[in-house]
Amino acid sequence: MTKNVLVLPGDGIGPEIAAEARKVLDVVNAQFDLGLSVDEALVGGAAIDAAGDALPAETWAKCEAADAILLGAVGGPKWDTLPPNERPEKAGLLKIRAQLDLFGNLRPAILSPQLADASSLKPEVVAGLDILIVRELTGGIYFGEPRGIRTLENGVRQGYNTYVYDEDEIRRIGRVAFEAAMKRDKRLCSVDKANVLEVTMLWREVMEELGKEYPEVELSHMYVDNAAMQLVRAPKQFDVMVTGNMFGDILSDAAAMLTGSIGMLPSASLDQNGKGMYEPCHGSAPDIAGQGIANPLAMIISAAMMLRHSLGMEDAAAKIEAAVDTVLDQGLRTGDIWSEGTQKVSTSEMGDAVVAALNA
């Protein structure tokens, strides 16, 4: 049976890393006879330039029809002056997340032993690190209404957003996190700011209620400021973390750096039925776009996650992950993870090396 994969390269380094992921998908598609049909469409700034809309109707139709989506990154300085509702992030990425109801964002931060030196923390603090951040992705302050920038009667401009979650939204992301914890070390830390924000007081209450359904899971709570500190102080205390949209955005970047580079981290954004969009945690990195130096591994590992979680192709996923391991063992590094004694390679050389490892 054919499975339709839609690749959305997006902006900045997106097209460069998407090209490498496609090479890798082509190889496993043939090797395992997966029956993948891979299509591509424009999103974000690239789509604004070509079609005047960050999510053109044609792209949206393909998103709906796809069995899984692999996205590079969106946004860049060129489109930063557009009105908020037209910008690549909101009108492209966030719109896909919302319209496909991809509320469950899984961001694993796993340290490859080969990269212990690339972490900004001491090797003993990060060795063996394996954290899963479960981030709510379609609610919270990112989507709350009312929002905007207005001018008050006294002529002073005021920006405002609304931080809102209802208990059903909290419960469904909580369930994703508890289920994930059950498959791991059965420890779940819920991150909130319940000492100040009512919305997260409710968050904590609902997590407590849900915890009664998962007696095997050791549930703890942490304020987000402390969580940020603990992540850089003693990150190995965490197994699964669950939090809202904005806190999750911030903490997952911090967790990514523990592993040496945000250029290594994949993510999955899933709906209730496991349909998903997969993307590297990093952004479009306009500062290095077009130079062929971006790290394609987060994108390639995201493709592996896609095969595993949305398409049920575990063997192919595991083979890609093993191939990534092989190239790291060979000492190949893009600039972001390079250290003395390793070999610096370009984006496409890294992709080619993964392909070679798959073919070996």
Q: Which residues bind Mg ion (CB under 5 A)?
A: 249
Chain contacts with ligand IPM (rule: CB under 6 A): 75, 89, 93, 249, 283
192 binds, among Mg ion, ligand IPM, none (CB under 5 to 8 A by kind): none
181 binds, among ligand IPM, Mg ion, none (CB under 5 to 8 A by kind): none
In the bound state with ligand IPM, the residue whose beta carbon lies nearer, of 56 and 75, is 75
In the bound state with ligand IPM, the residue whose beta carbon lies nearer, of 249 and 336, is 249
Least separation in angstroms between CB 303 and ligand IPM:
17
Instruction: Kindly provide the b/e burial profile for residues 153-185, where b requires at least 16 CB atoms within 10 angstroms of the residue's own CB.
Output: eeeeeeeeeebebeeebbebbbbbbbebbeeee
Q: Give the residue from 77, 96, 89, 116 showing the smallest Cα distance to 264.
A: 116
89 binds, among Mg ion, ligand IPM, none (CB under 5 to 8 A by kind): ligand IPM
In the bound state with ligand IPM, the residue whose beta carbon lies nearer, of 93 and 345, is 93
Q: Work out the burial of residue 136: count CB atoms within 10 Å of its CB; fewer than 13 is exposed, 13-18 middle, 19 or more buried.
A: buried
* CA 212 from centre of chain: 29
Q: Does residue 146 have a cis peptide bond before it, meaning omega lies within 30 degrees of 0?
A: yes
Tokens of 108: 């694993």
75 binds, among ligand IPM, Mg ion, none (CB under 5 to 8 A by kind): ligand IPM
Q: Give the residue from 285, 278, 267, 247 showing the smallest Cα distance to 74.
A: 285
In the bound state with ligand IPM, the residue whose beta carbon lies nearer, of 14 and 283, is 283
Least separation in angstroms between CB 249 and ligand IPM:
4
Residues labelled catalytic = 142, 193, 225, 249, 253
Least separation in angstroms between CB 319 and Mg ion:
29
Asked if 202 and 165 touch (Cβ cutoff 8 Å), the reply is yes
Q: Give the residue from 40, 20, 38, 17 showing the smallest Cα distance to 29.
A: 38
Least separation in angstroms between CB 285 and ligand IPM:
11
93 binds, among ligand IPM, Mg ion, none (CB under 5 to 8 A by kind): ligand IPM
Least separation in angstroms between CB 284 and ligand IPM:
8
Give CA–CA dist 42/276, Å, rounded: 18
Q: Give the residue from 231, 181, 183 showing the smallest Cα distance to 207.
A: 181
In the bound state with ligand IPM, the residue whose beta carbon lies nearer, of 169 and 249, is 249
Alpha helices in the chain (DSSP H): 14-32, 45-51, 57-65, 95-99, 123-126, 167-182, 198-211, 224-233, 245-258, 297-309, 314-329, 347-359
